[in-house]
Amino acid sequence: MTAIACDRVTVAMGGRTVLSNVSLAIERGEFVGVLGPNGSGKTTLMRAILGLVRPRAGTIRVLDAAVRRGSPAIGYMPQVRPALLHARIRGWDFVASVAGGHRWGLPWRSPAERKDVERALHLVGAQDLARHSIAELSGGERQRLLIAQALVGEPKLLLLDEPLISLDPHHQQAVIDMVRDIGRELRLTVLFSAHEINPLLGALDRVLYLGGTHAALGRVDEVITGPVLSRLYGSDIEVIRLHGRIFVMSSSGHDLEHDAHQHEH
């Protein structure tokens, strides 16, 4: 049973080829970390799976069906936009906006929809947070509401785009553990994009590393290696393992994952 199957997929954005001839298969129930430098196509891949970007060539199948926009089987957490940080709207209303949000009419939530929202909030332990306005919440608390929103509608596949951004290590670990536990409990397939591999090491089934329009999918010790990453980055990469942590270094000695993270801010 495959959750996501890409067959020789090429995606271009604004004239630039982001992914070229990528083939991969992700099994149902897998927790896959999506890594790679900025601009390597982590968000674009998710948008292609959602049907928001049409591949220039190749086919993508999601849960054994052709990609289509608006699939209820996919839960999605986009990256946090700055505008959202100032939204003076109650957490509950924010999370609930996704429930049947594409239908016309007044947004009265049916009892079933309200129950679904409560269930999602319960999964991330955010029933109390949902009473506060989004603008009052801290980064970690807001992240939990966003994950709850992705869980509304009982999806089978979760696409989480950079859920760790701007969180300190302690809260990063809390988010990862929570997503892993929810994923196991509900047998969800999870794609979790991040800048750094280390916080994810304990949770991952496999890693999908993107770079130089190519992709490598496999276990951490198969993919996070000098030769594989050198091919993706198109330059000499050294991988150093130290005390259970992994450091990805360019030949000139820069720690690439930390560099990438800092450039983002």
Q: Is 162 or 214 the residue whose CB approaches another protein more closely?
A: 162
Residue among 139, 49, 131 at smallest CA distance from 96: 131
Q: How many CB atoms lie within 10 A of CB 139?
A: 14
Compute CA distances 203 → 86, 131, 190, 206, whole Å: 32, 30, 11, 9
Nearer to another protein (CB atom), residue 87 or residue 246: 87
State in angstroms the smallest separation of the CB of 61 from another protein.
17
Q: Measured from the CB of residue 244, what is the shortest distance to another protein in angstroms?
A: 24
Q: Closest separation between CB of residue 197 and another protein, Å?
A: 22
Pick the closer one to another protein by CB: 70 or 244: 70
What span, in angstroms and rounded, lies between the C-alpha atoms of 237 and 252?
9
Say which DSSP state 197 is in: S
Q: Which CB atom, from 141 or from 213, has the smaller least distance to another protein?
A: 141
Closest listed residue to residue 202, CA positions, set 216, 189, 192, 188 = 192
> Given the rule CB under 8 A, which residues bind another protein?
47, 50-52, 69-70, 72, 74, 76-79, 81, 83-84, 87-90, 93-94, 97-98, 100-107, 132-134, 136, 138-141, 149-150, 166-168, 170-171
Q: How many residues does the chain have?
A: 265
CB of 208 to another protein, least distance (A): 20
